[in-house]
Amino acid sequence: MSADVELVGNFCVEGVSVPFIGSGFTLNATREILENADSTTFLSRNEILRHGNLVPDGLSLRTQVKFTCALRSGCESEDLISAAENFTAKLDQIAFACIDKRILLRNGMDEKSLNSYPFNEFSRGSLQHKVNMPINAISDQKMVPLVRITRDETMYSRLSTTLEVIVPAVFGDNSYVLYNRLIEGVRRKIHSMVYVMLDGFKNQKKLLPPISQVFFPPGWSSLLHLQILNCEESEQHSLRVKFHKLLNLSLSVPCIRCAQAITFAPTSILRSPHLYITSYKPRSKVSVVKGDYFYYHYMQGGVNDTGWGCAYRSLQSIWSWFNLNGFTDKPVPTHLEIQQCLVDIKDKKREFLGSRQWIGSTEIGYVLDHLLGIQSHYIVTNSGIEVLERARELAVHFEVVGTPVMIGGAQLAHTILGVDFDQDSGDCNFLVLDPHYTGSEDLKAVLEKGYCAWKAASFWNPAYFYNMILPQIPKIDI
């Protein structure tokens, strides 16, 4: 369910509708229509959409609601349904507060509050993201939200889960509209939670708590909300394939893996700073990296790698791209882990561990191949002038593959994020991410000081040779 679409009706596929949605109009479709993205037939079957207008301006409101209930062994389904019904029957007792914005939404608001428009004065903000970190199955059992209790020969399980609810707020909505939209969002989230848990119980014979996740698939203009069982990523493959087909998502690249989910927690590392460059005016065709990445640079994580760690940082930025775009859930390696990998494959001697030795594009290729199974193409040049001559190859890489490119030369490493290439004249500017920045995670400073900026071809020193590594997209199950 998209957070940017009004929650007003039902959706029916081949006679099967989503339960517990409520009143409103119904949209009808078939699996064939959805899988083939047949918009013509879809619109012909749903006349109500043919003259409708979508209003994209607004915000996404986020709230969290905790749901807790006790489940008796052998009666889990009945107890879960009963608890959900009791919870939704008391939704009018919920109040929504945003302390820093001095906003309170609740049932029975006075006339002044009902007619206020609290979000009109706010500008549209950006979503913060965070990569999911793996949880150790043994040491983190305290985090599992199911607690089992035995009493009077009856086994009880206590379910405790936090539901994340996100709904649209269009500019011009008053407090009454926002309050009711949030209540409806909570109601739907509870009902979908029950549906997902009961469906999982039917297949696995045990109740697993769901996790709520929000995605922003490539090419979409709205958010995608999914509730899935809290099980291993590999166990969700068949479900992901089903969703990819149903929502017409690409079957060749991941779109809804756990690592790609959006969270609203602030991150300690800048994410995709090139998206905030506003002063550059393109001269020709611009081809840039596809997807997000984290900006790794000198001095991060308490590691003083100034003068020797730029290639390590470039590798970390590239690795984060594979994280954020769903190709791996392995955490970004540390300097020591990178060195250990090179020692393990006999590229370096054991004395290399813990050293401050520089690495280059070849070593980065070895690490990506050994730890992630990712193959790479290489571009070798004899001087900085030849980097410009290979601009066409870089443009094709960003258009077709879209991964960040590491370039090493003159005892320096950088990451190329894109090119502005004129096919007629051969001129080219390069979008460069510079790992030599030593400051704090200050986006303004990074951009103003040129650590993420467009560079002319003269940026590459003609007195030195340069090697580039172009990581390829692995063939993996979505």
Among candidate residues 347, 370, 377, 436, the one labeled active-site is: 436
310 is catalytic: yes
Question: Cα(74)–Cα(156) distance, rounded to whole angstroms?
Answer: 10
What does the longest C-alpha to C-alpha distance in the chain come to? 84
The DSSP annotation for 336-386 comes to HHHHHHHHHTTSS-GGGTT------HHHHHHHIIIII---EEEEEESSHHH
Question: Cα(333)–Cα(31) distance, rounded to whole angstroms?
Answer: 42
434 is catalytic: yes
Among candidate residues 173, 255, 310, 397, the one labeled active-site is: 310
Among candidate residues 173, 305, 434, 452, the one labeled active-site is: 434
Sign of CA dihedral 135, 137, 139, 145: positive
Phi, psi of 296 (to 5 degrees): -100, 140
436 is catalytic: yes
Sign of CA dihedral 162, 167, 169, 175: negative
Give per-residue burial for 91-102: e unless 16+ CB within 10 Å, then b.
eeebebeeeeee
Amino acid (1-letter code) at residue 384: G
Place of tokens 């193409």: 377
With CA atoms as reference, report the closest residue to 415 among 328, 327, 313: 313
Return the active site residues: 310, 434, 436
